[in-house]
Amino acid sequence: MNVLSIFDGISVARVALDLAHIQVKNYYASEIEKNAISISKKNYPTIVRFGSVIDLCANMITEPIDLLIGGSPCQDLSIAKKKRKGLEGERSGLFWEFVRVLKEVKPKYFLLENVRMKKEHMDVISQQVSEVYPECSNGSLFGIEPILINSAKLSAQNRNRLY
């Protein structure tokens, strides 16, 4: 499987794939946080790293992508923040880069993760992703709508996340 992880962090998506015994042929990552990159490099030195998602272009990737995975920054979407700017915010606005990469790369599968948010933002995200994969929208069996999972089911954190 060829994987592109944007907003990769410390490459926990790669850890999850390994734990699920999913063989990864190529793992490409986009991340800018130096400490996260350092940890990722120590654990997975063969990852092909691209830096900022803003600079990422589909022609930089040498293989067709099977799985695109990412979770754009949540600070402007989180219900924990009172004066949030939503998808127009500087950080959470990076969601539009996920959409751009999704359109350019057109992977077989994708997984987008983010915090619980206002319905209006959730609807915009679902609409944007459905436009890339229209065959999965409009009431089909596999419509593109998020599901809510509390991280407490898998970790020590009690946080609701949309997938």
Give the single-character DSSP code of 122. Answer: H
Output Rg (C-alpha) for the chain, integer angstroms.
16
CB atoms inside a 10 Å sphere around CB 5: 24
Q: Name the residues annotated as catalytic.
A: 74
Place of tokens 């004066």: 83
Phi-psi category of residue 51: left, alpha or beta, with phi > 0 → left and psi -120 to 50 → alpha: left
Residue 31 CA neighbour count, 13 Å, CB half:
27
φ, ψ of residue 49 in degrees (nearest 5): -110, 135
